[in-house]
Amino acid sequence: MNAEAIRHVLMTADTVGGVWSHALELAAGLGARGVRVSLATMGVPLTPAQRRQAASISSIELHESQWRLEWMDDPWNDVRRAGEWLLELDAALHPDAVHLNQFAFGALPFAAPKLVVAHSCVASWWRAVHRQLAPAEWNSYRDAVRQGLAGAQLVGAPTEAMLSSLALDYGYIQGGLVLPNGRSGAMFAPGRKEPLILSAGRLWDAAKNLQALAAVADRLPWPVRVAGPAAPPGAGVREIVRTPGVHWLGELPPDALAAQFARASIYALPARYEPFGLSVLEAGLSQCALVLGDVPSLREVWGDAALYVPPEDHEALHAALMRLIGDPPLLQQMGRKALARAGHFTPDRMVDAYLSAYARLLAPAAAGAPPRRRSRRKAEENACAS
């Protein structure tokens, strides 16, 4: 980097979705470059598997909380208290930069400069799923997102499509960076392929559109397996409605899910909304042929390395799956293309992008941003030196 060296980042992560996996992958890569990460978690308590994952990365210092996330029901008292907690961490830890994977905290007066990363949002989710604007009950959320974006020195998103949605939904037109996700092939790798179709995602999230796959499963000659939690956080155990042709696997730990990817010949995710799609990347690394919802973000990431179907067109989904099942050379070709495309989204490339973003935070004049306040640590070092 050609700016002040980053040595310590305070990063937030929720424990509910793909941001958790992203944060761990990024933190491990940063650690390999000599950057410590203080990881502040919120949402729901860490599972034993998540705790083991974090403990396996020596560069992570874990700070846990259970504050509700900004997209959850009636979260604002928790969001306020989480913000106070993060400011206390900032004061105690003196990070060089603050990396926020939630919006609202961008408005807080951290001493270190702030990067806000937009992994997804309610407004763009609502438009994609319901084909209309989110109702007035989400106005407090909109205001919090706008204030968080306005307070950040820099804003990023994993795709251009997600970055563009910030302008449409919140009027954020100050620009930003595309910071693609990355995933290591150490866990996700091709295995001996079997005649089966896999999907993974939150069953309760209409954006994943797993119901479309369930609707065509009993007309497919191959079995369909679906992995993921059945209920949203805090909703307790929810009974899964059994569907002919679908084997529901439940929520799997990473190694068990990787084994399913390795065996599956096809990965199907007819998503209505997917700002990047970490599960698709894991499937691509496992050389699964991809059948995806025809949305701009997935086309941006996968290009011609996938087959695309309109999310609401069940017949198109059935036809795409049958095309691959009935044409083994095409099936193998699409698996190879997915693997090759997945190879572009490496952890090293992701870490390079984030280190460049952090460098921009520390060189605001070059980026046209307002001057950065010196961190307390720098001030103390300068005082001692004098």
Asked if the structure places residue 32 within a domain, the reply is yes
Q: Based on the fold, state whether residues 338 and 351 are members of the same structural domain.
A: no
Which residue, 119, 133, 125, 116, is CA-closest to 175? 116
Summarised one tens digit per residue, pLDDT across range 208-220 is: 999 999 999 999 9
Round to whole Å and give the CA distance between 301 and 357: 20
Task: Name the pLDDT band for 242 (thresholds 50, 70, 90).
Answer: low
In this predicted model, which residue has the larger pLDDT, 342 or 241? Answer: 342
Tell me the two tokens of residue 78. 């928790």
Asked if the structure places residue 203 within a domain, the reply is yes
Asked if the structure places residue 165 within a domain, the reply is yes
pLDDT at 244: 76
pLDDT at 237 over 50: no
Q: Based on the fold, state whether residues 108 and 140 are members of the same structural domain.
A: yes
pLDDT at 278 over 50: yes
pLDDT at 380: 37
Asked if the structure places residue 187 within a domain, the reply is no
pLDDT at 245: 83
pLDDT at 279 over 90: yes
Q: Based on the fold, state whether residues 150 and 284 are members of the same structural domain.
A: no
Boundary-marking domain end, from 327, 342, 357: 342
pLDDT at 118 over 50: yes
Q: Based on the fold, state whether residues 371 and 322 are members of the same structural domain.
A: no
pLDDT at 368: 47
Q: Average of pLDDT values for 179-208? A: 92
Q: Based on the fold, state whether residues 247 and 298 are members of the same structural domain.
A: yes
Mean pLDDT of the chain: 90
Asked if the structure places residue 338 within a domain, the reply is yes
Q: Which residues, in sequence order, are CB contacts of 48 under 8 Å at separation 6+? A: none
Percent of the chain scored above 90 by pLDDT?
79
| Model pTM score | 0.89
Given a contact cutoff of 8 angstroms between Cβ atoms, the answer to whether 100 and 113 are in contact is: no
Task: Name the pLDDT band for 94 (thresholds 50, 70, 90).
Answer: very high
Q: Based on the fold, state whether residues 234 and 90 are members of the same structural domain.
A: no
Task: Name the pLDDT band for 195 (thresholds 50, 70, 90).
Answer: very high
Q: Based on the fold, state whether residues 93 and 211 are members of the same structural domain.
A: no
Task: Name the pLDDT band for 228 (thresholds 50, 70, 90).
Answer: confident
Encode burial over 83-93: b for 16+ CB neighbours within 10 A, e otherwise: beebbebbeeb
pLDDT at 365: 39
Range with the lowest mean pLDDT among 35-44, 169-178, 366-375?
366-375
pLDDT at 373 over 70: no
pLDDT at 366 over 50: no
Q: Based on the fold, state whether residues 13 and 127 are members of the same structural domain.
A: yes
pLDDT at 18: 83
In this predicted model, which residue has the larger pLDDT, 92 or 375? Answer: 92
Asked if the structure places residue 189 within a domain, the reply is no
Round to whole Å and give the CA distance between 332 and 334: 6
- Domain with 203, as residue range(s), is 194-342
Q: Average of pLDDT values for 355-369? A: 74
Q: Based on the fold, state whether residues 231 and 305 are members of the same structural domain.
A: yes
Q: Based on the fold, state whether residues 133 and 257 are members of the same structural domain.
A: no
pLDDT at 322 over 80: yes
Q: Which residues, in sequence order, are CB contacts of 90 under 8 Å at separation 6+? A: 10, 98, 110, 111, 112
Residue given tokens 């679908």 in the structure block = 246
pLDDT at 241: 54
Asked if the structure places residue 188 within a domain, the reply is no
Which residues lie across from 293 on neighbouring strands? 309
CATH code of the domain in which 306 resides: 3.40.50.2000
Task: Name the pLDDT band for 254 (thresholds 50, 70, 90).
Answer: confident
Given a contact cutoff of 8 angstroms between Cβ atoms, the answer to whether 318 and 220 are in contact is: yes
Task: Name the pLDDT band for 1 (thresholds 50, 70, 90).
Answer: very low
Q: Based on the fold, state whether residues 144 and 247 are members of the same structural domain.
A: no
Please give the backbone phi and psi of residue 22, each rounded to the nearest 5 degrees, phi first: -60, -45
pLDDT at 238 over 80: no
Task: Name the pLDDT band for 233 (thresholds 50, 70, 90).
Answer: low
Summarised one tens digit per residue, pLDDT across range 292-305 is: 999 999 999 999 99
What is the count of structural domains for the chain? Answer: 2
Percent of the chain scored above 70 by pLDDT?
90
Q: Based on the fold, state whether residues 255 and 338 are members of the same structural domain.
A: yes
In this predicted model, which residue has the larger pLDDT, 370 or 71? Answer: 71
Helix (H) or strand (E) holding 18: helix 18-32
